[in-house]
Amino acid sequence: FKFIGIGGGVFTTTDTPTLTVVSGQPAKVTVTGTAGGTSLTAGETGHFTLQTYNNTSQKVPFGGGTVRISLGTDDPQAKLTYGATTVGFTAKSGPTPSYADIVLPQSSTGSYDVDVQFFAAGGSSVTASIAGLADGTYEPVTVSPGPAFALTLGTVTDVTASNAFAAGDTID
């Protein structure tokens, strides 16, 4: 096998060269967030990156299409935002978790930044699903309860009328 090298010289080798063709077709999607997990308070937004890879784990373009983002908990108040588009999540239905579908445009890098606003306290995760590709999941997402939104009192009873309690009594 002969080839031309730097300076115009011709080199000869007895080795047979190999050529590896790498598929540019996406085979999987991944979801990344803050290293070590994401901790939020209910009502706050987590930032996540979706990335398409081929079957040899190289980043590849994505031709665009519908992506389903599922949460690891029931959070029908949650919101998914990509660019100027915001969509709500469904309520959990049997084994189907809360999810939102969004159409992503074509991307030469296969990379998309999305935001998820969480409202349900507890442990969660974010999973991206694209038809024909292996799903990607990011976890853990820990959502702490937010401040009380409202306090509603029912009927108030005057317990002093029955002499059950007197001013200054301590209730343990």
| Cβ atoms within 10 Å of 98's Cβ, excluding its own | 22
Left, alpha or beta for 83 (phi > 0: left; psi -120 to 50: alpha)?
Answer: left
13 vs 37 pLDDT, higher one: 37
d(CA 66, CA 45) in angstroms, rounded, equals 22
Residue 135 has pLDDT above 90, yes or no: yes
> pLDDT tens-digit profile of 34-91?
877 889 999 999 999 999 999 999 999 999 999 999 999 999 999 999 999 999 999 9
d(CA 129, CA 30) in angstroms, rounded, equals 9
Strand stretches in 73-121, DSSP E: 79-82, 85-88, 99-104, 111-117
Q: What is the pLDDT of residue 170?
A: 75
The answer to whether 142 and 38 are in contact (CB under 8 A) is yes
d(CA 113, CA 45) in angstroms, rounded, equals 13
Q: What is the pLDDT of residue 30?
A: 97
